[in-house]
Structure 1
């Protein structure tokens, strides 16, 4: 298996990898995140639902300005009214750009970034709405961040328990307080992890690892020789990113960010997948 430094040398552009305390390469380099940056939005939705300040059943009517091309399904569906929980699941499962914009409009970009600080994000932030195309007068990327901060956030989710469905029906409770956001028992964590488990894109870090992509329930350990995965990916010109958790014999949180010249995306994918093999080996190790 190729070592991480050599993998970084062979990758066009910059490859950043982090599993806290176990793997690190360019972990503090700030890079574009593409749709992996949607995790900050999803975290704030989950925290707001858990605290009771946002009703997952609240209807949100899509406005013409919400609609964007690229990833997602809403642009091809006729319904214009969806619940907050529906939009969150669409954002997590198919990275729906229209759902993302509707949620950002409902919560507010400033609120999402301010609350992200509670979760350890200092340099990782959303810069703008999703735009297709992104013009010179717009911020240069949807979101930017570091592998260190994102993998730390993913590791934070590993304390999440089971039993919360993707609609958020079991997430709210009177003891859910914003200042407990990093606590092991914070009720928003299983909600967010459940949304991430519905991600349909396993083409990056988990791609070469033995896993069941339709297994949504967080296990204490995966069947021998396999991993359970929950993740959020990002795809843009010259960008391939993946942030999530793998549960094998042990659980790890990870972030892999790759940014390079346009036209070399396939090489970025190969680098991220090779990094995924390194991360998977850590999750499968029993010591």
Structure 2
């Protein structure tokens, strides 16, 4: 892979990693932490998926999503979670964060083993100097481990995986993986085809994608790119090269080596 105009961090267990412990802005990938809190709450009964939540003026945010342009002001928690997962709706995200609170999301993240990966603030458009510097921050290693937790958890994991399978953005890692982007039914390995569940993040100078790919085996991945404004597409092209590796690994029936060492060690420069 050629030199890149920024930092490309990734963790693909069973294949390789690069700058996997470097905290980077996550953009909307950070919403995965909020979605995990919602899925946990629905599973335990602490949160009611049918609970109506009225949108407040302070919830509305521009950028990704459709609620800003819709007339309805009241949605269920389940509706808002699905909108957050499928189209990364910023207004839905803010409403859910207001409902459950940043502290609860942070506590759940710590319980899941995340120490450097956090939501720092609500979605703000624009983000001003007096606000926290970014929505969310995290590392590729923690995020890949988190996706493995989601994929193996038998309580709240299946619901969150279903939401991720409905993600409409397949422009980064999954762009290089042959799959049906409309298949939101959770599939179990082994599969003759390839199935994808993911969450992406897009902001000026940031592209991020984390997900679960299932074929003859399961592969979890996290890729985070940071670059100067205007160079984002070059980073996306590099991400798609990693997607080729992820897709091949998901269709590789061979077991990992007894040593557990990855099949690839990166020499990427950036």
Q: Same fold (TM over 0.5)?
A: yes
1:215 maps to which of 174, 183, 186:
183
In the alignment, is residue 67 of structure 1 matched against residue 64 of structure 2? no
CA–CA distance in structure 1, aligned partners of residues 147 and 99 of structure 2:
25
Specify whether residues 29 and 40 from structure 1 end up closer, same or farther in structure 2 by C-alpha distance, changes over 3 A only: same
Q: TM-score, normalised by structure 1?
A: 0.86
Q: 2:219 maps to what in 1?
A: 252
Runs of 4+ in 1 over 4 A off after TM superposition: none
Deviation sequence 1:145-179 (CA, Å, 0-9, x none): 000000001111222xxxxxxxxxxxxxxxxxxxx
CA–CA distance in structure 2, aligned partners of residues 218 and 68 of structure 1:
31
- RMSD (Å) for aligned C-alpha atoms: 1.1
CA contact (8 A) 1:151 1:255 kept: yes
Q: 1:170 maps to what in 2?
A: none
Question: How many residues of Structure 1 are paired with residues of Structure 2 in the alignment?
Answer: 254
In the alignment, is residue 270 of structure 1 matched against residue 263 of structure 2? no
In the alignment, is residue 281 of structure 1 matched against residue 256 of structure 2? no
Deviation of 1:209 after TM superposition, in Å, equals 1.2
In the alignment, is residue 57 of structure 1 matched against residue 35 of structure 2? no
Deviation of 1:222 after TM superposition, in Å, equals 6.2
3-state SS of paired residue (1:153): helix
3-state SS of paired residue (2:241): helix
In the alignment, is residue 95 of structure 1 matched against residue 62 of structure 2? no
CA–CA distance in structure 1, aligned partners of residues 151 and 15 of structure 2:
16
3-state SS of paired residue (1:111): helix
Deviation sequence 1:205-242 (CA, Å, 0-9, x none): 00021000111122223653x41000000000000000
CA–CA distance in structure 2, aligned partners of residues 279 and 209 of structure 1:
8
3-state SS of paired residue (2:157): helix
Q: 1:30 maps to what in 2?
A: 23
Deviation of 1:20 after TM superposition, in Å, equals 2.4
Q: TM-score, normalised by structure 2?
A: 0.91
Uncovered stretches (5+) of structure 2, i.e. residues with no partner: 255-270
Uncovered stretches (5+) of structure 1, i.e. residues with no partner: 1-6, 160-183
